[in-house]
Structure 1
Amino acid sequence: MTRLNVLDSSFLIAENRETPMHTGGVSLYSYPKGVDKRKFLNGLKEILLAGTDLRPMFNQRLSNNLLSKANLTFSWEQDQDFDIEYHIRHSALPRPGRYRELFALISRLHSTLLDRNRPLWEMHLIEGLAGNQFATYLKTHHCMLDGVAAMHLTDSMLSASNRGRVNQSPLSLEAWEHYKKKNLATRKAVSASSSDIKSLADKLTEQIGSGKNLAQAVMKYANVWLGGNPALNAPWHAVPRSIISSEVTGSRRFVAQSWPYQRIRAAGRALGGTLNDAVLAMCAGGLRRYLLQSGALPNKPLKAMVPISLRVEGDLESSNAVGFIVANLATHLEDPGERFTTIRESMLAGKELYSGLSAGEAELFTQIAMSPMVISKLLSLEKALPAFNLVISNVPGPKKKMYWNGARLDGIYPASIVVHGQSLNITLVSYGDQLDFGIIACRRSLPSIQRLLDCLEDTLSEMEEFAGLV
């Protein structure tokens, strides 16, 4: 058996019917020209079902021991009754097969818990889309994969050529080993891995020599509460209540849209910041508009948790290797220039917090900073004392157009997690010349979340106008 580390286990501890802890990804494809669509999809399904010796965790389930049932420790064990046909599923949309019907299906699929008696994943092939398209929806528990690891899995089934063919299941161990040898260094990850992860107590002992750096980072967070460094933001500090900070149900609403990469990047550069600054400003302005339309804009600025990757180059084995920055979204400011400057300064302060830490120290600091969130969850305090208002995440994807056995990949749209106190999540993937936004929300708390897409477009236009680009 392989024991899960502290960060991976936290997603299992935090899970219940209202707050599933799985993530998902919707990939849109265009059929190759002239193919029989039914035969083509059946061929893809046969490839997916052909995997017998699967990569770790995809044919493993959580150990059903007393410690696991008590949510104390978790371990992976081989599923002796593994049935791949349970996990690979084929669905069809009702006519007319618009994105509206696709989003409704994804909303329903993303609302249901994964069965802990089985390996914690599902993959759906979805036909019936208009416009010569089909889709896939991959759903994995966050204790298995973070966003970067999920992108590696997606990338392993793709080719840069429309003539490329992958006849191995991307879930198979053989395909996974081939992908690692082809794309990344074979050196063993020096970061935490699912096979050799040590407990937090061991790490504290191991890191004792670099405890000074860690203590300084913790003190910087503590100093925020004392009024120092106004640009740095910390969890729970000055987090306003809003309709986003509400209690959630298990029902979800998913919407998605793409924007040109260069358009957003140009706006960020013109305003003196980065692409990520521009994305955050676009989200901030969109949220401000959405909340104003709802008559629910708080007087204080919304705070967003922005994940940052701590994954060491060449590390394909870690389930989760992620830290976070708390960004001030400046939603109380009407002026788009002032809002952008505030966001940029808060991100610079957050990056500076991690700049003096090694990869191991940064990982340990993240576990320390996140541990109160787990305690808050166990004590049911997350609704009254939210650590932040929402999560905004940017995951790097393929840099050029890709194909799955000749089918062109048109977009990759993430569907992430919402919890009590944070009923909205915005995650985007960079793919080729576009940025693909996936938005997931609690259906009861934010029933008209599709309006946010228009608000995002209006905000980007406002940024371009302010920067003199139009």
Structure 2
Amino acid sequence: MPLPESHERQGRAHRVRAGRRPTRAWGCRMTDRLRSRDLAFLTAETVTAPRHNATVEIFEPGPSGLDHETVLALIADRIAFVPRYRQRLAGVPGGVAAPVWVDDDHFDLGYHVRRSALPRPGSDEQLFELVARIVPRRLDRSRPLWEVYFVEGLRDDRVALLYKSHQALVDGVHTVDLGQLLLDRSPDRKALEPDDWTPRRAPSSGRLLAGAVRDVVTDATALTDTVGRATGTARDAAEKVGGGALKVAGALAGRRPPRRGPMFGPLSQHRRVVTVETRLADYRRVREKHGGTVNDVVLATVTGGLRAWLMTRSESMGGLREVRAVVPVSVIDDELEATSLGSQIAAHVVDLPVGEPSPLVRLHQVSYSFQAHAETGRSVAANRLAGIAGFAPTTFHAIGSRVAAEEARRGYVLSVTNVPGPQSPLYAAGARMVASYPVPPLLEGHPLAIGVTSYDGGVFYGITADRDQLPDAEVFGTCISEALDELLATTTAPRAPRGRGRATD
């Protein structure tokens, strides 16, 4: 059963379902201060590791097509349901407290919704080369922390939407991803009430400072966050100094730095985005034959793809038996922060058995890792997640990337976020969405991340790789497809007769 929502959230959900706009009670208050965990995503951001999530959706043309002006009008219709998409961060003088969300009094929708094109007829490869160039660019912190690119020129008159939203913006608690609100279950466009939004005047420096003092005095959470910021800054500085000292000491001692594997190493400012489209029926077929869940089959496919890809790189499988991955999962847990999606997101760490040659054994080992999680009673069924209003995978991927970032100290190698979506077509202003690919962000030292979304009978992989560290990322995409074929082959292989002993040489 879903977690009980507050009256405010129930009211918001009712207004969304009824097609009515939220009231001005959603406007910015001085208490809309950036929480410490959200501030961490801003402070941890670097030029080589921007902290925003991205999604690429591809649409077939509807009866009247889908153009840039229509997308602008659609976003203008729906943006009132996510007020923070029209807010920016205002810093407090002296940095004595966390920044505050304030209305952007110069909000320009045309700045955030941009138009691009491929030379016709553009291929998927050209589209994702463009995506790989756009994704690493950091968002402008003086404006609301999101962008949408409308890309036209694809073959068969298709178009694409590329969403970028900062991790500090989409938390699943106060704000869901804009992409969750733009899609409808019917090609008929819903009529909404006119949006009469006008920005509130930005607070002065004196008011920001006074608000910070008041919050620290009256709000225990704000006081804790302020102390935590100071402690965290000192700790991070110490770690940087300590790490630098160790490197210098190692160099003076003549020691060489440890060898970096294919999934370790510093990031560049450039990316590769590789996509793979598969069919959900294939995963269900493997599940029905061997048990487990579709998620188990997806992770076994990722494991097989990693194994094959590592072997193409002449990696010694004897020295690399497992790849530790963090897999965000949806749970019911009162001790975790509640989201507006009816469940919480927790990290599950699994060792992917890349050293195992048998695809069936790999599947069973992955299934065993998740069996204990399922037996706790905290797990949430995939069909329940897929039934959430709107296109919730974009929000779940955003929360999953936040969870993965918070778990970075646990020493995992790879993040894999698999989110089930609705199995019926969705539409944007009458145009049918035919594919949705997540583009997960990379963390420092982690040049590879994988996102998976199931939608309308398809399972769509989005692989983000550092362009310099992993120039052969396309090979990994091919290995994913071959790993699924390998699992499918086990569903047709005849079983050995019972009672017969194993053959010996």
| The two structures share one fold, judged by TM-score above 0.5 | yes
8 A contact 2:70–2:429 mirrored in 1? no
Distance change (3 Å), C-alpha of 1:149 and 1:156: farther
Aligned to 1:83: 108
Report the residue type matching 2:154 in the other structure.
L
Q: CA deviation at 1:198?
A: 4.7
Q: CA deviation at 1:161?
A: 2.2
Q: Deviations over 1:66-102 (max 9, x none)?
A: 565x9x7343222222222110111111243001110
8 A contact 1:6–1:367 mirrored in 2? no
C-alpha distance in 1, partners of 2:87/2:157?
A: 36
Q: Deviations over 1:389-416 (max 9, x none)?
A: 1111012322311111221110111111
Q: Deviations over 1:129-167 (max 9, x none)?
A: 0122101011000122258999864342222222x1145
Aligned to 1:420: 444
Aligned to 1:102: 127
RMSD over equivalenced CA pairs, Å: 3.7
Aligned to 2:310: 291
Equivalent runs, 1:69-218 vs 2, <5 Å:
73-145=98-170, 153-162=178-187, 164-166=188-190, 198=221
SS in 2 for 1:284: helix
SS in 2 for 1:259: strand
SS in 2 for 1:421: coil
Aligned to 2:480: 456
Matched, 1:59 2:86: yes
Aligned to 1:336: 359
SS in 2 for 1:291: helix
Q: CA deviation at 1:8?
A: 2.5
Aligned with residue 302 of structure 1, among 323, 329, 342: 323
User: What 5-or-longer segments of structure 2 have no aligned partner?
Assistant: 1-29, 198-218, 226-258, 380-400, 495-505
Aligned to 2:348: 325
C-alpha distance in 1, partners of 2:332/2:88?
A: 25
8 A contact 1:20–1:250 mirrored in 2? no
C-alpha distance in 2, partners of 1:197/1:463?
A: 53
Distance change (3 Å), C-alpha of 1:49 and 1:464: same
8 A contact 2:276–2:481 mirrored in 1? no
Matched, 1:3 2:72: no
Q: Deviations over 1:216-236 (max 9, x none)?
A: xxxxxxxxxxxxxxxxxxxxx
Distance change (3 Å), C-alpha of 1:247 and 1:48: same
8 A contact 1:157–1:404 mirrored in 2? yes
Report the residue type matching 2:148 in the other structure.
M
Aligned to 2:58: 28
C-alpha distance in 2, partners of 1:410/1:354?
A: 34
Give the aligned length. Answer: 385
Aligned to 2:371: 348
8 A contact 1:145–1:319 mirrored in 2? no
C-alpha distance in 2, partners of 1:268/1:107?
A: 34
Report the residue type matching 2:72 in the other structure.
K
8 A contact 1:326–1:350 mirrored in 2? no
Rg larger for: 2
Matched, 1:242 2:261: yes
C-alpha distance in 1, partners of 2:300/2:311?
A: 16
8 A contact 1:31–1:134 mirrored in 2? yes
Distance change (3 Å), C-alpha of 1:336 and 1:197: farther
Aligned to 1:43: 70
TM-score under structure 1 normalisation?
A: 0.72
Q: CA deviation at 1:256?
A: 1.4
Q: Deviations over 1:300-350 (max 9, x none)?
A: 30011101235789x765899522101111011111122112212222345
C-alpha distance in 2, partners of 1:371/1:82?
A: 31
Distance change (3 Å), C-alpha of 1:22 and 1:369: closer
C-alpha distance in 1, partners of 2:297/2:455?
A: 17
Report the residue type matching 2:144 in the other structure.
P
Aligned to 1:231: none
Report the residue type matching 1:59 in the other structure.
R
Equivalent runs, 1:370-449 vs 2, <5 Å:
373=408, 387-449=411-473
Report the residue type matching 1:81 in the other structure.
H
Identity over aligned pairs, percent: 30
Matched, 1:12 2:36: no
Aligned to 2:292: 273
Distance change (3 Å), C-alpha of 1:200 and 1:88: same
Q: CA deviation at 1:200?
A: 10
User: What 5-or-longer segments of structure 1 have no aligned partner?
Assistant: 175-195, 203-239, 357-365, 377-385
Q: Deviations over 1:407-458 (max 9, x none)?
A: 1110111111111232111111121211111111111111121112211111
Report the residue type matching 2:435 in the other structure.
G
C-alpha distance in 1, partners of 2:403/2:62?
A: 49
